[in-house]
Structure formats: C-alpha cells, structure tokens
Structure 1
C-alpha cells in the first residue's frame, strides 16, 4: 500500500532523537526464561512513542509498546519484538521494505521452543486502514453532516472495505496456521484493534470525519475485529484478545485517549495510532488473558 509506505518515510524523517533501548527483558539464561515473540504492524510497534528503537529505525518500534509493557509485567520472560510499522500478513514470511532498509520476515523470530506469541496484524491488508485515514478526512467538507466516506467505498450497494476484510480473515487464518507449525507449544494470542472513534458524538478537530462516518468507522473496525475473532476460532489453537471493549471511553475524542488524533505528536504517537497510555491499556488486557491461563 503506497500510502502507508509514504507515511513511514515522513515519520522516520522526524526521529533524529530516537534512542536505542534493549530489545529483550532480563538477563537470565535461556533455560530459565519463557520466550515471547511479538509480531505485528504499527498498532503493535508504536510509532513515535518514546523511545524508538534503531534495530531497524524504519520499523518505528517503541520500547514502550504493548509487547514491551507486557514483558515487563511477566516474570522470567524474554521478549523478541519484531513488529514493524506498515506490516501486513505478507510481511510475516517476506522481508518488508522500510525507509533506510528492510525488516526481516517476522516469522524468522519464531522457534520450536517459543512459549508465547502475540500477533497484531490485519489492518493494513488490502489497504483498509490506509484507505480510511487517507480518504475520509478529505471528504468531510463535501458533506460534513453526512457519510461521504461510506458512500465513497460503497459500490453497487456493497461496502468494498468489508469485502476486503473478508479476505483479510483468510490471510490471518494462514498466518495463525503457520505460527502453530513453527512454534507448536506456544500460547498464541491474536490481538484486536482498540477503538478509534466514540460510539456517539464527534470531534472533527481531532478526528476530521463527517458526522455520519463516525458510526461507519466503528462498523468497519468492529467488522475487522470480528474477522480476526473468526480467524482465531477457525484455527482452534489461537485465542483472540478483544481490546475494543476495554478501550471504550478511551477513543481519540476522549479526555484520556488511547489513540492519537489527526496530528502527529512527535514525542508521543503517530496520527491515528495508539499512544503510550493505549499501549499500556492493551498490555493490561493481554495480561489479564494470560493470568486467566495461569501465567
């Protein structure tokens, strides 16, 4: 998706203050720890959340994203975070072109002895997320109280983004099957996307969508999360972790948002992406899931 690649180039250009931080948690020997691999896109990697890692810089991977926050809470857990902004399901098995280089196929991090795998993927497949954020704000002025973005993506009565999400479900099913083959003993958690827009009301200065498109944006995100849940259920050995309910009241319009609005916070979060508070919130939901499993 060209729009996501160009966005990454812009973000990298402002990361001159990035600091290298350790990629793993703890210094215990390999036999003493559980091994955690984090796979995913920018909703996992955490663009612009301090501090940004340099390995590689183009992945916009934060030391305070949800994998890092989770690993700090889990005892005797060694994290290998290979998430990368802009990733889609193809980047699990193929190297991903990023500004200033490449990110290795994310599946290269998986081993037969891996104990925990979290996967946050799907939003970039078939350009769904990029299409929404690049198109909807531009259409607001044409019909501020209507739903011009929904109309734009509806062709002959069919919502083309929902059609794309149906294919994403199949793509994610393939990802989950491959993870299980590579790490047969791992606990595999498929992480859903937190809420971006409020269930009611608008905040055009923060989310510059037409009023009627807020409900449609929620519908698209719920459709994506439902597709991920179905993929996990079909796989049968992975668990979907739904972050959408916990993020209620923490949308981009809220007083304590988990999601950044339309403007980049160069020392906080990329536009339309989770901030540090959001990453901590997602980590808490995952930690609760693991606690219920006896971790």
Structure 2
C-alpha cells in the first residue's frame, strides 16, 4: 500500500497492512509448462516485512527475501519478472503489473484482494480503538465487501491473467491468519477482535479459492504452513510481525514467513 504521511499512531497504523495483508499443501511437483515466471500481487508477495528491499522498487518494497525472489534463485527460470507491489489492489494489479505476461509464461504467482477489502483500515481501527465493538464493526464491513463485491473484482483480474498467459500455471496464494487464538498474548487488541480478524481472513481465503477455481487456477492456503508461528502463538520468532517499526511492516510475514510459510506452496519446478 502506498503510505500517506499522517500524524501520530493513527497515521502510522493506517500504513500497516497489506500494504497488502492460506491448508499448507505441498506443492505439486509436476513441471510447469514453459520456464518464465511472473510474480504479481500486493505486499504479501512483494515481501514487505522481510527486509532486503530493492531500492529501485521504491514504495513497492520488493524484497530479495520474498518468496518469488527465493523461488527464482532456487530454480533459475528462463526469465523472472517481479511486479508485485505493496498496497496493490486487484485493479492495480490488472492495470499495472500484467505487462510481462505472455503465451511463453510458464508460472504466475499472486496474492490479491486484501487491499480491496480495506484491511489496512481494519487494523487501524482495531489497533488504536479501546472499544473492541468498533473493531468488530469494521471487520464486519470488510467481510460484507469480501462477500458481495470482491468476487467480481477477482474474476476481472483472473480473466485478464488468463487472456495474457493462457499456457501458464497460475498459483493463487491465500493469506495466513494473523493470530493464534487463546494464545500467549496478554496485551494488545482483545481476543474478540483477534477472533473477528482471523474469521475475516478465512472468508477472504474462501472467496479467493472459489474465484481461483472458476478460472482453473491453483489455490494454495497458507494457514497450515504458518500454524504455530502466528502472532500470539508463543513462538519467540513468529513468522508474522505484530505492531512493529517501521510500522508499515506490521502484520506482514517476516523473512521466515516468506521462506518457510509461502515458498513451499509454489511448484517445485518451472
């Protein structure tokens, strides 16, 4: 998400998430047709939160520790185009990231949808409001959007990807739950709010999986791969940042989350 400067904590927290923000399935070892890889999406794909950012990517915050860069380094595809950008909505991906796709593209990966649903604003409300009712209300607004509006937005994006790269294998990655419920956290937002946020993530993943299925794309759910490493899990080094500094990295995967949570969900060959 493009960060707009604002005052105090409210402004910082607005910049938090999904600047982005999915059951672990061991990736099918089947060879992907072709050997050109294009990585699309939002901050969960660009690698915000993992560090080691490409200076040239600017506010897109593309990281050398993001799963697309790690996969390309491990598998040496004929070409690798990394267009994922922090803060991207489905429309942003459709309008600004699809240029490298072609009939020669063999593999496409993507995370998208959370920014459309306003998860940054959700976390702003939940992190700064002492009233968990306000948090839950904002989460419910996001869930209504996910159910009623997001399917059409995903269909338009997936249609565009399919037209541009008809021979590719498209892997749609979901978003992990942020919190281990009834876990180790004793401060921060309430358990009621954590539960609401996790349930919204579940609904986002369900809607995304259905849309991927309509287009015969592969959906990979990251929840099992991140299980035991969420915020409040008791892991001393969780794979997801809680509220942190720089604040834009809050509620995003760490470098371990990218390498151990997301990377195994991609096919083992290109």
TM-score by length of structure 1 reads: 0.75
Shift of 1:190: 0.6
Task: Supply the distance in 1 between the matched residues of 2:39 and 2:222 (Cα, whole angstroms).
Answer: 16
Which of the numbers 131, 136, 139 marks the counterpart of 1:142?
131
Shift of 1:148: 4.3
Moved more, 71-80 or 108-117: 71-80
1:39-73 per-residue CA deviation (whole Å, 9 max, x = no partner) reads: 01011112253311123212111011010112222
The residue correspondences of 1:102-251 to structure 2 (distance < 5 A) are 105-127=96-118, 129-139=119-129, 141-142=130-131, 147-150=133-136, 152-153=137-138, 159-166=140-147, 167-201=149-183, 203=185, 205=187, 208-235=188-215, 237-251=216-230
Distance 1:7 1:181, change over 3 A: farther
Q: Which runs of 5+ in 2 are unaligned?
A: 14-33
Corresponding residue for residue 41 of structure 1 = 42
Shift of 1:75: 4.7
**SS of equivalent residue, structure 1 residue 137:** helix
Task: Supply the distance in 1 between the matched residues of 2:182 and 2:5 (Cα, whole angstroms).
Answer: 29
Task: Supply the distance in 2 between the matched residues of 1:111 and 1:60 (Cα, whole angstroms).
Answer: 25
Alpha-carbon RMSD across the aligned residues, in angstroms, is 2.5
Larger radius of gyration: 1
Corresponding residue for residue 91 of structure 1 = 92
| Conservation of the 8 A alpha-carbon contact between 2:239 and 2:256 | yes
Which of the numbers 250, 261, 266 marks the counterpart of 2:242?
261
Q: Which is bigger in relative contact order (C-alpha 8 A, separation at least 6)?
A: 2
Q: Which runs of 5+ in 1 are unaligned?
A: 12-32, 95-104
Task: Supply the distance in 1 between the matched residues of 2:105 and 2:92 (Cα, whole angstroms).
Answer: 19
Corresponding residue for residue 271 of structure 1 = 250
**Which structure's residues are more often strand, by fraction?**
1
TM-score by length of structure 2 reads: 0.81
Distance 1:36 1:7, change over 3 A: farther
Which of the numbers 248, 252, 256 marks the counterpart of 2:231?
252
